[in-house]
Amino acid sequence: MYRYAIGAAKQLDQLASYIDKGLQELRIEGIKITTGRCRLGSVCYYTVEWMSKEDSDKVQISLARALTDFLTEFWERNWIRRQIAKEYPYYDSDEVEYLSGNAVKYLSLFRRYGARLLRKLEMEQEILQDLKVHSILNWEGLVRFRLRLYEKDLLKAIEQVIDEYLMDREYQEFVKLLRHFLSVQPPRSPLIHLIMDQDWPRLVDHDGFQITDEDLNHFAEDLIDGDLQQEDMLISTLITMAPSNVLIHVPVQKTEDQVLVETVKRVFEDRVNFCKGCSLCQAPMKIWEQHGHFPLDYSK
């Protein structure tokens, strides 16, 4: 008979649940595993027993995976939740839960600097090594032994998700402000084309003429003072012209254009449509060089 005893002063029920779930696949394979509970001193232990030495490697791997899942999905989430509630008391319970969940997701894909494996896989390997050496494990002792490194990871995750959350809130307020500006603008055009060209985004009016940088500066002055980036001027121009429709052409997929496209979608909402393929999508610069404007056919 081979046995592991894993003790926990707190949260033994949750720990046992993760272990049972982790051993389920082995039981389906036909490996006979029995579990139970015992007490040594003040600590309760969850025991795992099996008959054949040949199954030991499989049991160790399944246990290591189950304990890692418990650590990353349950224990760390609770630790993060308590830490956020303590350090950021102005967040309500829903925000704390949202931030905790995002931090856990961040950690699941986190790789320590210079590490070969993702953090979770690295932790699984560490726990597996403990199981190969010790048949009795104290959960709190195991976590405390590595807490300094764990805590550094957790605090980094909290900082990351809160920074992203604040940036997202600022972005939402920005979109809300732009919607307000748009709502008070009288429509100046039935349609504006937004072409996400390979070099930079372009605006083309209903008649097929490109709105130049000089035009962009002029329109931007009507809405916002100060120096503006190209994308800011495009947004300002669109809002000032308040077109009834915005048709977005995406001939080239570029990651850096996604924010601009998403902002236009959120601000103009049901006024936005995406072109499914036209001459502007295929060769906008070639058309411009040949004609001096974009010949548009609205008869179709």
Q: Count of H helices and E strands in the chain?
A: 11, 8
Residues in Cβ contact with 115 at an 8 Å cutoff, skipping those fewer than 6 apart: 122
Question: Which structural domain range is residue 221 located in?
Answer: 191-291
E strand or H helix at 10: none
Roughly what angle, to the nearest 10 degrees, separates helices 119-133 and 56-69? 130
Say if residue 140 is in the same domain as residue 275. no
**How far apart are alpha carbons 254 and 197 in whole angstroms?**
9
Question: Is residue 28 domain-resident?
Answer: yes
Structure tokens at 168: 């997202």
Say if residue 109 is in the same domain as residue 226. no
Question: Is residue 183 domain-resident?
Answer: no
Say if residue 19 is in the same domain as residue 155. yes
Question: Is residue 166 domain-resident?
Answer: yes
Question: Is residue 111 domain-resident?
Answer: yes
What is the C-alpha radius of gyration for the chain, rounded to an integer number of angstroms?
Answer: 29
Among 146, 178, 210, the domain boundary falls at 178
Number of domains in the chain: 2
**How far apart are alpha carbons 64 and 126 in whole angstroms?**
9
Among 116, 150, 178, the domain boundary falls at 178
Say if residue 98 is in the same domain as residue 39. yes
pLDDT of residue 299: 55
Question: Is residue 297 domain-resident?
Answer: no
Say if residue 150 is in the same domain as residue 227. no
Q: Walk along the chain (300 residues) and give the pLDDT tens digit of each residue.
A: 899 999 998 889 999 999 999 999 999 999 999 999 998 888 899 999 999 999 999 999 999 999 999 998 899 999 999 999 999 999 999 999 999 999 999 988 877 665 566 888 888 998 999 999 999 999 888 888 776 777 888 999 999 999 999 999 999 999 999 999 999 999 989 999 998 877 778 888 888 888 876 665 655 555 444 445 667 788 888 998 999 999 998 876 766 678 889 999 999 999 999 988 776 676 655 655 555 566 666 655
Question: Is residue 186 domain-resident?
Answer: no
Collapsing DSSP to helix, strand or coil, 37 comes out as: strand
pLDDT of residue 115: 56
- Written as one string, the DSSP assignment of 237-271 is HHHHH--SEEEEE-SS--GGGHHHHHHHHHHHGGG
**How far apart are alpha carbons 97 and 93 in whole angstroms?**
6
b or e along 83-109 (b: 16 or more beta carbons within 10 Å of the residue's beta carbon)? bbbeeeeebeeeebeebbebbbebbee
| pLDDT per residue as tens digits for the range 108-155 | 887 766 556 688 888 899 899 999 999 999 988 888 877 677 788 899
What's the whole-model pTM score? 0.71
Say if residue 214 is in the same domain as residue 128. no
Say if residue 226 is in the same domain as residue 168. no
pLDDT of residue 110: 78
Residues in Cβ contact with 175 at an 8 Å cutoff, skipping those fewer than 6 apart: 263, 266, 267
